[in-house]
Amino acid sequence: MAVVRVDPETDKAPVSVQLSGVSKTYPTRGAPVQALSPTDLSVKSGELVVLIGPSGCGKTTLLRLIAGLIKPTSGTVDIVGTNLWRNNRRQGDAASEMGVVFQEANLFPWLSIEENVALPLQMRGSDKADRSRRVQALLDLVGIGGFGQRWPRELSGGMRQRAAIARALSYDPDILLMDEPFGALDAMTRDTMNIELQRIWMETSKSVILVTHSISEAVFLADRIILLSPRPGRIDSSYDVPFSRPRTTELQSTIEFQTIASTLRKRLTEIS
């Protein structure tokens, strides 16, 4: 756990993720692809930031750079004040502050749903009774409580994705990185999951960086929405979302909500 210190003079929350001039160019068989041009981004501790943008604009790339799954071509990534890459090596301490939910569920097919969710805890050496209690609570939380004993292949895509969310939550990381976590869910479940995510986030003061294609999901969840534009990927604009918490589904039908949503939609259409 990082020591979280609030600077009393400026009264600003500490920064949990800081990107300075971070860019990514993928080498390919043909010409190298610049997926992200040099980007600055700062996410405060406890902030919920949503990334949105057209397909291929570098959202996944940005998230993987923060997670330390790929190394930036230039610039530095700081996680709670620690440089993520030192001497070309990913710093394990900084990395273990983060939990990642991928665009695909990425469950291990040889582990039951339960065992998949328990995997991070097992690797951290938590004891068995604790583990199974925690895993059951998490499965209930994401709404697949009765499926712990099943193989991943026996679950639907949406259920697998929920298990992946439970796995990322299992070790209670300070920073949650989510790449279209609810993309495979139906509208109803998606609303429920949004409300659950808001609840978890409010209870645990995690920083969340979430990628989505859904404008209403973005406006519903975010403290701040960051719009990315393609070719090459860069931050186009950012929007503060001032609604009080906890937000409810009724919020979505208010004029204020619709105004932000349509501003976003307009800008998205322009840059696509």
Partner 1 sequence: MSEPTSPDGRSSFLDSKWLPWVTTPVLLLAMIATWQIYVSRSGVSAFILPAPMAVAHAWIDLLGSGRAWHHVLMTIYATLAGFAWALVFGVGLGTLIGRIRWLEATLTPFIVATQVIPKVALVPLFIVWFGFGITSKVIVAAVLAFFPILTNTVLGVKSVDAGHQDVMTSLNASRWEIFRRLELPSSMPYIITGMEVGIVLSLIGAIVGEYLGGASGLGFLLVSRMNAYETDGLFAVMIHMTLLGFVFYFGIGFLRRMLIPWHQSANM
Ligand X SMILES: Nc1ncnc2c1ncn2[C@@H]1O[C@H](COP(=O)(O)OP(=O)(O)OP(=O)(O)O)[C@@H](O)[C@H]1O
Which residues of the chain form contacts with Mg ion (CB under 5 A)?
60
Q: Tell me how many residues contact ligand X (CB under 6 A).
A: 12
Q: Please, what is the minimum distance in Å from the beta carbon of residue 93 to partner 1? A: 9
CA distance 80 to 21: 17
Pairing of strands 224-229, 48-52: parallel
Among 2, 69, 200, 251, binds partner 1 (CB under 8 A): 69
Check binding of 35 to ligand X (CB under 6 A): yes
For residues 210 and 50, is the Cβ–Cβ distance under 8 A?
Answer: yes
Indicate which single residue of 8, 30, 92, 125 sits in contact with partner 1 (rule: CB under 8 A): 92
Tell which positions 233-272 bind ligand X, by CB under 6 A.
Answer: 233
Beta strands in 64-114 (DSSP E): 74-79, 82-83, 85-86, 89-90, 98-101
CA distance 95 to 37: 23
Draw the binding track, 107-146, toward partner 1 (x: CB under 8 A; -: no contact).
-xxxx-------xx--x-----------------------
Element (H, E) at 264: helix 255-271
**Residue whose structure tokens are 């439970």:** 166
Give the residue, chosen from 28, 244, 253, 269, that forms a contact with ligand X under the rule CB under 6 A: 28
Smallest distance, ligand X to C-beta of residue 163, A: 21
Between 55 and 244, CB nearer to ligand X: 55
